[in-house]
Structure 1
């Protein structure tokens, strides 16, 4: 039997974290003329390395296939853009960034973050693998190169554009099938005295808050601070500080510097490592039991939808995020239980969700139809979306959240 190997330490992957069955690529939204064509489903079987404890999904799909034509544009989330603006302002002031500095962002998407540095007169470079998304960034005045980051591409980019005072990698570290090569790329991009910051969902919060829908083929690994620090160290980067963020249901912002200039880590690093250890994340046994939590979420959501259908009440969705497609496919939900969903992104409107073939409409459809329930799929934007949908209560409609547990509000 073929032995899967850990992508960080090369140990044999013999342990299961959770098995979610088969699912299509979560961002592969379908046009109407492809609804009768075959779809490819891939395993969502997440393993944990018994040696280094990295939780990971085998690379069933190469990154080039996932990101060649990408449907996610960061700027359609107001709260995420505001989060980026706050970060840009604070870090620029802290580091004293100005016209002679350089900020490089990896997986820069549509320029949602770098545009705030451009407004301050700070030179920027975006590194974005999806050409269609990079073109939007360029149209906004954000210099962007279409490239997958690795050790070699990082070296070449640094030769062309210079090494950066600040390298940003937001919500991309879980997306890379080779974290060792990617970490070397980050090290190649940053100045010896520079700073790298990375944001990614925290495995501790994923487990605590049952956020299993954040598991999909774009996310090759799920980091604790301990495993992230080990991965960064392969590229010669040392974690010097960490912040806990509320974004994406609970994320970390890790600060790392080249080993020669890193210095001692802050007390925040030790405190968070201690919290992870107390939660069991520094042992293999501490990762077990998550599959039981996942089963309860599926059972409760399907019970609700079957009951609503039996009572003749209509349920529609709000949002078409990748995480929603994991949830819907894992639960086997189709248009007979969720009539449609809506999304602000015009790149998704008029298309159909992968696997489930639930249609995606503009948000105005909800106001026209006045459904009984709206299932909010991007629960990580709960406050923002609850405000956008507060008028639903005027016709007696209610919002539904499936994670971390079923809630009708």
Structure 2
């Protein structure tokens, strides 16, 4: 197996979460009686370019189907994040009704709806049919396809060039990252700007975020590696911001290498040096992560076993991909967690892959009054705790397990 960027043979293991089902492949009750397909979830690191990556055991067009269950608008904090982004970009780059914005992996229109409200022409690229249809109902033009050089060339032939080309949490999702980045160069206008947001590998390691490893994430990205990938495809990163989203993300700003309009800012060399000082340019940095996974797994299992021993009712909140990865990595089934709740109607009435834990509407918490609620999407834990502060009515507590096991009463902040 070779690196998906530089083709160097992969020999160094980063994390092995063993065999798992697809993280968003929810099951009906009938399907519980049928065989469930598992795929290896083993992550390697390239010793040449330090791209951390999982082998493409599951094809992307089998993951992002018309039954794809992730809808970005289910998180109010994420929608607000998108609104603030649009406002910032309009001001920083003087965008107006004559500009053209393209979002790759536009999902249900959580971001482009803010462009439509301001009268900015825009286009969404979204492979999953169900989320694309929701965006279209919001008045957003969408192309239902995977992004790459072929689609970029087609759009250019149609007279489309992007003044802003953005993608939030998509760069890690593409199996052919070289083709994807090359496609962005093709579609980008001469003085255009690319922005990409993605979880920062340094935060993943520092905060033990192994639950963000799943088949939909083909790559786990450091800033240095992304700079190198962009450079090889004719794009130059001229600015970078560190964000708190998803446990610690980066927002990069890029343009054509030959473009002198957007000057490279000190933030680029500064973050490059931070990664270098953290030893991310050395293969030794990537060893030892497997032991962190084992420590977290054992702590949660001991905690859940103790709760069950004491007759407590345990629920989970958020049937997100990271939660499914986490539960399956820990070997947790419905005997340790009674049920899960989630806002997404597409998940309600279904069963979580692997663990087979049933999923209900969040109102089920009031009905069942669990003693413990394990928050699986820890990155929006504050939002969840605020919305469901009524757990105090029966002395229920919230728990998070990443980066370590923590127990919160409703009144306690992390």
Alignment match, 1:300 = 299
Alignment match, 1:49 = 46
1:269-326: per-residue Cα shift (whole Å, max 9, x none)? 1111111111111111111111111111000000000000011011100111000001
Q: Distance in 2 between matches of 1:297 and 1:67?
A: 30
Alignment match, 1:10 = 7
1:106 aligns with 2:104: yes
Q: Distance in 2 between matches of 1:242 and 1:142?
A: 28
Q: Distance in 1 between matches of 2:156 and 2:339?
A: 46
Alignment of 1:243-392 (within 5 A): 243-262=241-260, 264-392=263-391
Alignment of 1:98-247 (within 5 A): 98-247=96-245
Q: Distance in 1 between matches of 2:74 and 2:305?
A: 32
1:318-349: per-residue Cα shift (whole Å, max 9, x none)? 11100000110011111110001000010110
1:183-216: per-residue Cα shift (whole Å, max 9, x none)? 0111111101100000000000000000000000
Q: Distance in 2 between matches of 1:36 and 1:305?
A: 26
1:76, distance to aligned residue in structure 2 (A): 0.4
3-state SS of paired residue (2:40): strand
1:25 aligns with 2:26: no
Question: Quick check: 29-38 or 301-310, which moved more?
Answer: 29-38
Q: Distance in 2 between matches of 1:389 and 1:207?
A: 30
Ranges in structure 1 where 5+ consecutive residues have no aligned partner: none
Q: Distance in 1 between matches of 2:278 and 2:369?
A: 43
Alignment match, 2:84 = 86
Contact kept? 1:8, 1:231, Cα under 8 Å: yes
Q: CA RMSD in A?
A: 0.9
Contact kept? 1:6, 1:49, Cα under 8 Å: yes
Q: Distance in 2 between matches of 1:110 and 1:210?
A: 30
Contact kept? 1:67, 1:129, Cα under 8 Å: yes
3-state SS of paired residue (1:261): coil
Ranges in structure 2 where 5+ consecutive residues have no aligned partner: 409-414
3-state SS of paired residue (1:240): strand
1:40 to 37, 45, 57: 37
Q: Distance in 1 between matches of 2:224 and 2:264?
A: 13
1:350-375: per-residue Cα shift (whole Å, max 9, x none)? 00001111000000000111110000
Alignment match, 2:56 = 59
Alignment match, 2:405 = 406
3-state SS of paired residue (1:269): helix
Contact kept? 1:280, 1:287, Cα under 8 Å: no
1:243, distance to aligned residue in structure 2 (A): 0.1
Q: Distance in 2 between matches of 1:95 and 1:238?
A: 17
1:264, distance to aligned residue in structure 2 (A): 4.4
Q: Distance in 1 between matches of 2:289 and 2:159?
A: 45
Q: TM-score, normalised by structure 1?
A: 0.98
Q: Distance in 2 between matches of 1:56 and 1:156?
A: 29
1:76 aligns with 2:74: yes
3-state SS of paired residue (2:163): strand
Q: Distance in 1 between matches of 2:163 and 2:246?
A: 27
Q: Distance in 2 between matches of 1:161 and 1:83?
A: 31
Misfit runs of 4+, over 6 Å: none
Q: Distance in 2 between matches of 1:215 and 1:205?
A: 13
Question: Quick check: 280-289 or 196-205, which moved more?
Answer: 280-289
Q: Distance in 1 between matches of 2:320 and 2:330?
A: 16
